[in-house]
Amino acid sequence: MSRLVTIYGGSGFVGRYVAQRLAKEGWRIRIACRRPNEALFICPYGTVGQIEPVLCNIRNEASVRAAMRGADAVVNCVGILANRGPNRFDSVHVEGAGIVARCAAALGVRRLVHISALGADSGSKSGYARSKAAGEAAVLAAFPEAMILRPAVIFGPEDQFFNKFAGMSVMSPILAIAGGETKFQPVYVDDVAKAAVLGVDGAAKGIYELGGPDVETLRELMQRLLRVIDRKRPVVNLPWFLAAPVAALADAAQAVTFGLFTNRLLTRDQLRNLYTDNVVSPGAGDFAALGITPTPMSAIMADYLWRFRPNGQYDAIQASAKNLRKAS
C-alpha cells in the first residue's frame, strides 16, 4: 500500500514545493487547508487521485485529526507573517503547531516535520519570533522525534519578499526600506522542500537552520534586486524614528477598518524583526549536515522577476536592439 502524508498549509508557498517533491517519490498526499477548492491547482503535481485537498483549520483539533487520520507522515507548513482577524501568532504558531504534534503522537504518525523560522527566540521583542520559539517547544513536548526546520527569508517565484519590493520599485521613484544594514541569508524555497522531504523519508531529524550561500544586508539585497529588474532607484533607509510611525499608522488603519484595510506595507512587529540579523547561527545544523547544496540567488531571481523589468520578457531584446543601433 502506498504511503500517505498530510501537509498542513500544503497549498501555500513552501507547502506546494514539498507536495511536488513527495508526489514524485510516489507518496499519496492530503493537502490540509482552509479553502480546498482553491488548492486544486496542486492536483496535477501527481497522478490522478494521488493528491487530495481537504478542509482543515489548524486551530480546530477535530479537523486537524480528521485530515491526519491514516497518515504515515505529517508536514506542518502553516505560518503567518502578521496578525489578522482570528489568525494570531499564538493561535497559529503555538496552539496550532501543538495541536498538530499532539494529534500526530496520538494517531501513531511515524514522522513529523515542522516548518519554523530562523530567528525563533523566546526572548525576542518580536511576537512573531517568540511565537515561533513557543511553537517549537510545543511540538517537541508532544513529538520529541520531530524534525524542525528554521528557514531564513525564503525566495522563489511566489515569495512575499523580492516580489513585494520589486512591485514597490515599479510604483515609486525611490525604494524605501527599514533596517537597511541588517544581514539576511535568503534561502531558495525548493531547497527548504528538499530538507522537509528528508524528514518525511526518515533520513534526518532534529533542528536545522536553513540559509542560502549568500549573506547580504537588506540594502545590498535591494540593490541586487534593482539590477535584476533593470531599474534605477535610490535605496533610502528609513531611520527608526521615521519607520516606527509609518508602521504604527498602517497597523492602526487595519484596526479601525476592522481588517477591510490589510497592512501589507510594514507592521510594528515586522519592524522589530528588521533590526535583528537573520542568518544561520555558528555551529547549528544546516544544509551541509543534510547533504544539500543551497542554491544561490543569482541562479533563480531573474527567472521570476523579469516581469518587473521596464520591458518585461523583451528587456534583453530591447537592449540588444539599442546596441545594434549605436553600433551602426
Give tens-digit pLDDT for 210-247: 999 999 999 999 999 999 999 999 999 999 999 999 99
Does 259 map to a domain?
Answer: no
The answer to whether residue 89 is domain-embedded is: yes
Phi, psi dihedral angles at 303 (to 5 degrees): -70, -25
In a domain, residue 56? The reply is yes
Which amino acid, residue 167?
G
* pTM across the whole model: 0.94
Is residue 262 domain-resident? Answer: no
Range of the domain at 17: 4-154+187-211+278-292
Asked if the structure places residue 98 within a domain, the reply is: yes
pLDDT digits (tens, 9 = 90+) for 79-88: 999 998 889 9
C-alpha cell at 277: 540579523
Q: From CA 200, how far away is CA 212, in angstroms rounded?
A: 22
Query: Cα(53)–Cα(41) distance, rounded to whole angstroms?
Result: 10
CATH code of the domain containing 35: 3.40.50.720
pLDDT of residue 328: 60
Does residue 140 form part of some domain?
Answer: yes
Q: Tell me whether residue 217 is in a domain.
A: no
Q: How many folded domains does the chain comprise?
A: 1
Indicate whether 307 belongs to any domain.
Answer: no
Q: Say what the alpha-carbon torsion angle 6, 13, 178, 231 is, to the nearest 10 degrees.
A: 170
Q: 62-66, 127-131, 321-325: which range is least confident on average?
A: 321-325
Residue 326, pLDDT > 90, answer no
The three-state secondary structure class of 328 is coil
Longest dimension (CA), the chain: 75
